[in-house]
Amino acid sequence: MSRIANKFADLRATGGKGFIPFVTAGDPDMEFSLAIILRLAELGASVIELGVPFSDPMADGPTIQRSSQRSLDAGTNLEKIFDLVKRFRERSDVPLVLFSYLNPLLRFGFDRFCSHAVATGVDGLLVTDVVGFEAIEIGNQLKANGLDLISLIAPTTSDERLAEICRIASGFIYAVSRAGVTGVQKETSGGARVLVERARRFTDLPIAVGFGISSAEQIREVWQYADAAVVGSAIVAEIERSVDDGNAVEAVEGLVSRLLPEIAKDV
């Protein structure tokens, strides 16, 4: 059983729900990135999503786009990200998922990617811009290497596509709460609950809901019907605000501490 499967099995056994933070690897630099994800692990992250920076992140809103650019400007590439994962894995067993567009993976070489991922301690991969045969091919290759394919579903995904996506996915399903790009929202879309209910017809995998979640109230709402909540842009925005003063770790800790203690009372 993978680290991701073990984590969700433990949560289900205790009636708990998952917290999945997202940060862009190398934002604002590799040393801060390592310190941030280690602190997130200490603060109770169930799984950590590490974004692979890309020069044309079309599925992401301005906040994560800027984080990608800061990371690229700092010289981040997949080799350095794998070194980051290796250093993290020496100190934590919290599952790590790389969140990437296809282009960086193809440039690196997918066979090479899989071997590095296994060697350094990556647990899964989410590729934002692959569908159909490409997704099946990638899923099969990841499975052969003991890695999970984390798949995205959206309110616009048809039942036919849901069935196909759920069939090849592993680890967990990432349900996008609304159509559009990433970014903080004041309210969680009602379509997210419907989407999760639809997906349950096709899979027993845990389902995490993300895109725009930024408050304790929103997380608590998601936990009523899903297995985990993903918080991305709100965390990345805290990092951005603290770039100049060097307090990125403290800023992220402050945000998470405002979210999790209040939520924990209701779980």
List, by residue number, the catalytic residues: 49, 60
3-state secondary structure of 106: helix
Alpha-carbon distance of 201 to 198, in angstroms, equals: 6
Alpha-carbon distance of 54 to 105, in angstroms, equals: 10
Q: Which residues contact 149 (CB under 8 A, 6 or more apart)?
A: 124, 125, 126, 135, 138, 139, 142, 143, 168, 169, 170, 171
First to last CA, the chain: 26
Residue 121 half-sphere exposure toward CB, CA atoms < 13 A: 16
3-state secondary structure of 44: coil
Side by side, which strands form the sheet with 207-210? 148-149, 124-127, 96-100, 48-51, 18-24, 228-231, 207-210, 173-176, 151-153
Place of tokens 């991922």: 117
Give me 77's structure tokens.
Answer: 């590439």
Give me 172's structure tokens.
Answer: 């967990």
